[in-house]
Amino acid sequence: VEILYVSKVCRNYNYVPCRVGFVWEEEKYEDGIKWKFLEHKGPYFPPEYQTLPDDVKFYYNGKPVKLSLPAEEVALFFAQMMDHEYTTKEVFRNNFFRDWRKEMTLEERQLIMDLNKCDFGELHAMHKQKVEARKNLSKEEKLVNKEANQKIVDEYGCCVLDHHRERIGNFKIEPPGLFRGRGDHPKQGMLKKRIQPEDVIINCSKDSRIPEPPAGHRWKEVRHDNTVTWLASWTENVQGSCKYVMLNANSKLKGEKDWEKYEVARKLKTCVDAIRAQYQEDLKSKQMGTRQRAVALYFIDKLALRAGNEKEEGETADTVGCCSLRVEHITLHDTLDGQKCVVEFDFLGKDCIRYYNKVPVIKRVFKNLKLFMENKQEGDDLFDRLNTQMLNKHLSSLMPGLTAKVFRTYNASITLQQQLKELRNMKDNVAEKLLSYNRANRAVAILCNHQRAPPKTFEQSMANLQAKIDSRKEQLDLAKKELKQAKKEAKGSSDNKLLMSKAVQRCEEQLLKMEVQATDREENKQIALSTSKLNYLDPRISVAWCKNMEVQLDKIYNKTLRDKFAWAIDMTEHDFVF
């Protein structure tokens, strides 16, 4: 019997799916319970380290040294990264060398004292050769690999959660290697150790088949906690944080959570005016803390800044969000470029992505900022009477479920909806409609500061495209001339002329398509659209747009996104309003 997926999501919307077979009525669990039955095979472990072939040698101070297995494995991690800028950085090298020496035998440690005297050349060459060989595999060999991988996915990549077979998101244990933090990370280059089954906690239901640990091993623990969604977890040694094996985004559990997130954001829409009025009022408060909260909220709402938790100094790169802004991150301009009360932001945010923005603000915010900056110096918190807990506590009192990040979701989604409405033109062809969609998406990405490194081949590929446009233009001119000539001289059959005018038309269409593509690509040089599409934009806005504009959904959502947003695709009609 086919069991259909009818989630709480759908039922809340009185959605009735087309019935193929028996429809399972989901139970609604009491608060905090995530599942009643969970069965899986445990995580998949990376292969054990294989020692180097005899002809590949490591040299210290010009002399070949046969390293012990653990030391050799870590040496290879470094050798594999030698084309990367990381390995030239002082911090990276120092951290690596310190941790590498910990893996050495006493003898090795006494010999190998200086990283600069280490020659990983042969190890590096071997690695490059392996990469090359993998690239040059025949079609058949690649297919064999693909099938082997699929087998692993089938066995370890799926689980049964309640009545559904679900895909797992990350069922593979992270292989050992050198830690690659983002930006100026004080721990970059440290050894990320190999995870053993003895490090792994398994979570599943009591009445399921408990996963077998790999031969000769045992699990750290097997627990049956149905108030959490993870299937396995371990503690990572570099930062000491927990890592989890969790479900794929297309699972029912994740889908419902996602839907809930957007419903909270939609609820904010109904009370955002009142909340804005409230913080405008709070800007005048006698309490310094309240004023700071109001200014922070103004930034979070207007600029979609992140909450900004405090971070432990020296443990991570120096990045900030709203509440953790320091005085050096903003500059106040009474007037700038003809605008009054301009705040210039310049700081590193999540993933060390730079946030740079000059924003005119209302007078009262500007005056408060001046006040907050008085008698402070570089390194001092801008909001010294505020943190994220206080902010979120206040927000949840204004609306149940409201936190700082809801503003990002709300402002992203509402911006997309507004932009799509403004750019809407039914007369556009599909390419132009898609350009409009991307531009709306881009407005959101800019708001949320979702950046990317310009693709390495960007200039070249832009030039290539331009060359193609130019040659197509010439071709079009030629085709037009020929057609004109033929008409003038009344030569050639009418069939032929029809053919010629068709060719002109096709040429024009292709040219337009390429020009639109060039515009889109240029505008998108440093902007990442995917993050907002995946995490901030209520998919129902996009699904409804497609229906209204008569654009195929797969033009804007790939397979992964269509799977993730299956709930939205199912329930959304053309008249959906965020």
Partner DNA sequence: TCCCCAACTTAGCACCATTAGG
Partner DNA sequence: CCTAATGGTGCTAAGTTGGGGA
Catalytic residues: 536
Q: Establish if 388 lies at the interface with DNA (CB under 7 A).
A: yes
Among 39, 236, 328, 508, binds DNA (CB under 7 A): 236
- Residue listed under structure tokens 């997130």: 261
Q: Establish if 146 lies at the interface with DNA (CB under 7 A).
A: yes
Asked whether 62 and 119 are in contact (CB, 8 A), the reply is: yes
According to CB under 7 A, which residues from 45 to 84 bind DNA? none
Among 11, 36, 142, 269, binds DNA (CB under 7 A): 142
Nearest to 510 by CA among 468, 458, 550: 468
Q: Establish if 409 lies at the interface with DNA (CB under 7 A).
A: yes
According to CB under 7 A, which residues from 448 to 477 bind DNA? 448-453, 455, 457, 460-461, 464-465, 468
Min dist. Cβ of residue 105 to DNA (A):
27
Give me the 112-141 binding string for DNA, x by CB under 7 A, dash otherwise. Answer: -------------------x--xx------
Among 319, 415, 441, 572, binds DNA (CB under 7 A): 319
DSSP 250: T
Among residues 67 and 433, whose Cβ is nearest to DNA? 433
According to CB under 7 A, which residues from 517 to 536 bind DNA? 521, 528, 530-532, 535-536
The number of residues in the chain equals 578
Among 94, 237, 278, 392, binds DNA (CB under 7 A): 392
Report helix, strand or coil for 275. helix
Please report, for residues 103, 134, 136, 145, 153, the alpha-carbon distance to residue 140 in angstroms, rounded to integers and kept in the order given.
40, 13, 11, 9, 20
Give the binding-site size for DNA (rule: CB under 7 A): 85
Q: Establish if 560 lies at the interface with DNA (CB under 7 A).
A: yes
C-alpha neighbours within 13 Å on the C-beta side of residue 13: 18
Nearest to 351 by CA among 324, 317, 326: 317
Alpha-carbon distance 540 to 77, whole Å? 45
Alpha-carbon distance 418 to 428, whole Å? 18
Q: Which two tokens stand for residue 286?
A: 């006698």
DSSP 117: G
CB pairs under 8 A, 24+ apart, for 466-474? 466/518, 468/514, 469/511, 469/514, 469/515, 469/518, 472/507, 472/510, 472/511, 472/514, 473/511
Q: Establish if 326 lies at the interface with DNA (CB under 7 A).
A: no
According to CB under 7 A, which residues from 175 to 204 bind DNA? 175, 177, 179-183, 185, 192
According to CB under 7 A, which residues from 83 to 112 bind DNA? none
Q: Which two tokens stand for residue 554?
A: 């797969």
Strand segments, DSSP code E, in 369-454 are: none
Min dist. Cβ of residue 482 to DNA (A):
20
Amino acid making up residue 367? K
Among residues 130 and 484, whose Cβ is nearest to DNA? 130
Q: Which two tokens stand for residue 527?
A: 């902007």
Asked whether 122 and 58 are in contact (CB, 8 A), the reply is: yes
Give phi and psi for 577, each to the nearest 5.
-125, 130
Q: Establish if 150 lies at the interface with DNA (CB under 7 A).
A: no
Min dist. Cβ of residue 55 to DNA (A):
24
According to CB under 7 A, which residues from 297 to 316 bind DNA? 306-309, 311, 316
Q: Establish if 233 lies at the interface with DNA (CB under 7 A).
A: yes
Give me the 412-451 binding string for DNA, x by CB under 7 A, dash otherwise. Answer: ------------------------------------xxxx
Give me the 335-354 binding string for DNA, x by CB under 7 A, dash otherwise. Answer: --------------xxxxx-
Min dist. Cβ of residue 426 to DNA (A):
24
Min dist. Cβ of residue 259 to DNA (A):
11
Among 559, 573, 575, 577, binds DNA (CB under 7 A): 559
